[in-house]
Chain A
Amino acid sequence: EPEVTQTPSHQVTQMGQEVILRCVPISNHLYFYWYRQILGQKVEFLVSFYNNEISEKSEIFDDQFSVERPDGSNFTLKIRSTKLEDSAMYFCASGPLSGDTQYFGPGTRLTVL
């Protein structure tokens, strides 16, 4: 069964450093998303991406964040200058043409020291 994959599974970085989180969505999906979950809190929406552009973003997704689909298979989230409060699980999700459902990857645990 096709699934969303994410790398790395765990990333440790120093405050102020740039990180890139990578995702390979399900191959025939057209909608792509990033969510995050701070330990013990709700899953929160960050950004959605469709037709090679951002379709929606949350207040969390400020100028420090960017997304890119550099080729036909990868979808990346870049955090330019990490803060302590960026420590969280980051989930990539993808959805089919209908846009009805979203399938999540296993997540990348980001730890900012």
Chain B
Amino acid sequence: QKEVEQDPGPLSVPEGAIVSLNCTYSNSAFQYFMWYRQYSRKGPELLMYTYSSGNKEDGRFTAQVDKSSKYISLFIRDSQPSDSATYLCAMRPRNQGGKLIFGQGTELSVKP
């Protein structure tokens, strides 16, 4: 079983839709969870960061972590064409400064 699994998509939605992106993981030691956005041939850009279980909201973005199910989600409300990118989940154990384990990334396209 892969440590982090993410549906690569592609996912295509109309402008204004609510988007749900998800990752599952197998390592119960993961404590820190991040979502990055990556435009084509660019570096990952940190969108959201959460520690342990719960929800975190930032503008149109909501990150959700369910450690009991080993499942994390990113919701994008009122999606815009500029949200079209690949979304990467990443996570790591508790050790300070530890390496990130990434998912495959989900390619999202928001159509005007």
Contact = CB atoms under 8 A, between A and B. Distances in A.
Contacts of B46: 101-104
Interface of B: 32, 34, 36, 41-46, 49, 51, 88, 90, 96-105
A58 B99 contact: yes
Contacts, number: 59
B46 to A, nearest CB: 6
A32 to B, nearest CB: 9
A109 B43 CA distance: 11
Contact of A104 (B44, B49, B103, B104): B44
Given A31-B97, A98-B96, A100-B32, A42 B49 contact: no
Interface SS of chain A: strand
Interface residues of A, number: 30
A56 interface: yes
Nearest to B51: A100
A44 B101 CA distance: 7
A102 B100 contact: yes
A107 B42 contact: yes
Contact of A42 (B45, B97, B99, B102): B102
Nearest to A46: B99
30 contacts: A4-B43, A33-B99, A41-B104, A42-B102, A42-B105, A43-B44, A43-B90, A43-B100, A43-B102, A44-B102, A45-B99, A48-B97, A48-B98, A55-B97, A56-B98, A91-B44, A98-B96, A99-B96, A99-B97, A99-B98, A100-B51, A101-B46, A102-B46, A104-B44, A104-B45, A105-B43, A106-B42, A107-B41, A107-B42, A107-B43
